[in-house]
Homo-oligomer: A and B are copies of this chain.
C-alpha cells in the first residue's frame, strides 16, 4: 500500500480559551503527532536546544526566511521574531507524521493562506460568559483589559468561519477526545484513502 502522508492540524482560538492546556493534554496521550517547532530570534535560554525547543536564528537569517516565503506564519513580539518554518512541517508530513500547531488566531490565518491543505480547528469557550469568568479568575487583569479581551473574543469567534472544525472547550478531556476524533476522521476522508486504494486496484488488474 502506498504510504499515507501526514496532515497539518492547526489548533487556534480566542485568547484565554485554553489552547495550551488542550494541546498539553493531547500530547500526554497521543504520540503519533509531531509538535511543530517554531523559529525565533530571541536568545537561547539555559537548557534549550536548537532544533528541539526552537530553531534559533539571527534577525538577518529570520528576515531572509520571511523574504523567501519560507515561513507558514510569523509575528514580532517584544523586539523578537517568532515563526513556523515551512520546511520542517513539509518534511514531517512527507514522512507520514501528522504535525500539530497550536497558535493564536492571526497566526492561524497566515498558516491558512500559506498552507490551505491544513486542517483548521477552532477552540471556543462554552459561552462568552464562561470566557469572561476564566479571564476574571486569573485575577491579574483589570476590568478594562477584560472588556477589551471580550470584544476581541467576539471578533475571533466570528472568525470561526475560516476553520474546518469547532471544538467547544467545556472540559479538557472532552476537547482532547474531539480533537483526536477529528484527526482520525480526517485520515478516513475519501480523497485521502481513495488515492491509496486505486493504486491497489491497479496492482491486481
Interface residues in chain A, defined as those with a beta carbon under 8 Å from any beta carbon in chain B: 1, 121-122, 124, 127-129, 154, 157-158, 160-161, 163-168, 177-178, 180-186, 188-190, 193-194, 197, 200-201, 204
Contacts and interface: CB of A to CB of B under 8 A. Distances in A.
A143 to B, nearest CB: 17
- Identify whether the interface residues of A are mostly helix, strand, loop, or mixed: helix
B163 A197 contact: no
A193 B157 CA distance: 11
A29 to B, nearest CB: 14
B193 A168 contact: yes
B181 A185 contact: yes
A129 B166 CA distance: 40
Contact of A200 (B127, B183, B186): B127
A178 to B, nearest CB: 5
Contacts of A185: 165, 178, 181-182, 184-186
A160 B161 CA distance: 29
One complex includes copies of this chain to the number of 2
B160 A194 contact: yes
A12 to B, nearest CB: 12
A197 B165 contact: no
B190 A161 contact: yes
Contacts of A204: 127-129
A155 to B, nearest CB: 10
A159 to B, nearest CB: 11
Contacts of A181: 180-185, 188
B166 A194 contact: yes
Contacts of A197: 124, 157, 160, 166
A143 B137 CA distance: 71
29 contacts: A1-B127, A122-B190, A127-B200, A127-B204, A128-B200, A128-B204, A157-B201, A160-B194, A160-B197, A161-B190, A161-B194, A163-B190, A164-B189, A165-B189, A165-B190, A165-B193, A166-B188, A166-B189, A166-B194, A166-B197, A177-B184, A178-B184, A178-B185, A180-B181, A181-B181, A181-B184, A182-B184, A182-B185, A182-B188
